[in-house]
Amino acid sequence: GVEGRVPFGRKLPGRAAAVFQSSRDAPAVRSCAKFLTHRSTEAADARATTAIAQIVDYIEHYYHPSNSGHYVGNLMSFMRFCIKYTEKLVHARDGWDVEAVERFATTMKRLTDRGMFSKNSTLRQASMVATSRLAYMCPRVILPTVLMRFEEALSHETATRRLVPALNCLTACVRPLLQLPLNTIFEDSDGEAYMNVN
């Protein structure tokens, strides 16, 4: 794995980089995630959603399976707390903005899709739990990818290393799948359709 300094270039705003410094602990990252998620689920404030997307733009490639630097813990905490607090807000608020939550789920999916193949077992497990939580909030965004990933892992005998993460992710999302209405049809990003036939 890569063991090095904090993975941010000079162009990153100082306040954003400070959140992920190795000297910072989980409470600092949690506070940042809580603030952003409370703002991003409000339809009137698109700036917070944009801020989350910009942060993900910077940190996404550090969820690559080959990375296991000392900053992984903070990256994992950011992903976990963002999803946790958003899920709480979605369930607690009656008039939440569907489009804002879908944008959030699409953004965080970029992190979970990479993290579930990480060499770091803690990040891998956290990514699968996060995928399950996102599936409750936005099944239309998350579940097609989960099903497609499992299908691809079964069809490629040489890529056995992908089968276990794909199976674990599918297992974590069984309950959201079963809660869908019968014969629900949704498409993945490639246009392939899946139907829920529980």
Q: Is residue 61 part of a domain?
A: yes
Q: Is residue 180 part of a domain?
A: yes
State residue 4's pLDDT score: 47
- The separation between CA 185 and the C-alpha centre of its own chain, rounded to angstroms, equals 23
Q: Is residue 2 part of a domain?
A: no
State residue 112's pLDDT score: 93
Vertex 36 angle, CA 31 and 40, to 5°: 155
Q: Between the CA of residue 45 and those of 38, 41, 92, 96, 171, what are the distances in Å? A: 10, 8, 19, 12, 35
Q: Give the structural domain span for 120.
A: 14-195
pTM comes to 0.77
Here the CATH number for the domain that contains residue 56 is 1.25.10
* Segment 150-176 mean pLDDT: 84
Q: Is residue 1 part of a domain?
A: no
Residue 23, pLDDT > 60, answer no
142 neighbors 174 (Cβ within 8 angstroms): no
- The separation between CA 21 and the C-alpha centre of its own chain, rounded to angstroms, equals 21
Q: Is residue 9 part of a domain?
A: no
* Local structure of residue 187 (DSSP, 8 states): E
Q: Is residue 40 part of a domain?
A: yes
Q: Is residue 6 part of a domain?
A: no
State residue 127's pLDDT score: 93
What is the tens place of the pLDDT at every residue in 60-104?
888 877 777 777 888 888 899 999 988 888 888 766 677 888 888
The total number of structural domains in the chain stands at: 1
Q: Is residue 97 part of a domain?
A: yes
